[in-house]
Amino acid sequence: MKRTELIKKITGLGAVLERHGAKHDWYVKEETNTGQAVPRHNEIKESTARLIIKAFS
> Where exactly are the structural domains of the chain?
3-56
Please tell me the predicted confidence (pLDDT) of residue 2: 96
Please tell me the predicted confidence (pLDDT) of residue 51: 95
CATH 3.30.920 assigned to 3-56:
yes
Please tell me the predicted confidence (pLDDT) of residue 41: 93
Please tell me the predicted confidence (pLDDT) of residue 40: 93
Measured CA to CA, the distance from residue 36 to residue 20 in angstroms comes to: 12
Please tell me the predicted confidence (pLDDT) of residue 57: 87
Low-confidence ranges of the chain (pLDDT < 50): none
Its pTM stands at: 0.88
Measured CA to CA, the distance from residue 10 to residue 22 in angstroms comes to: 20
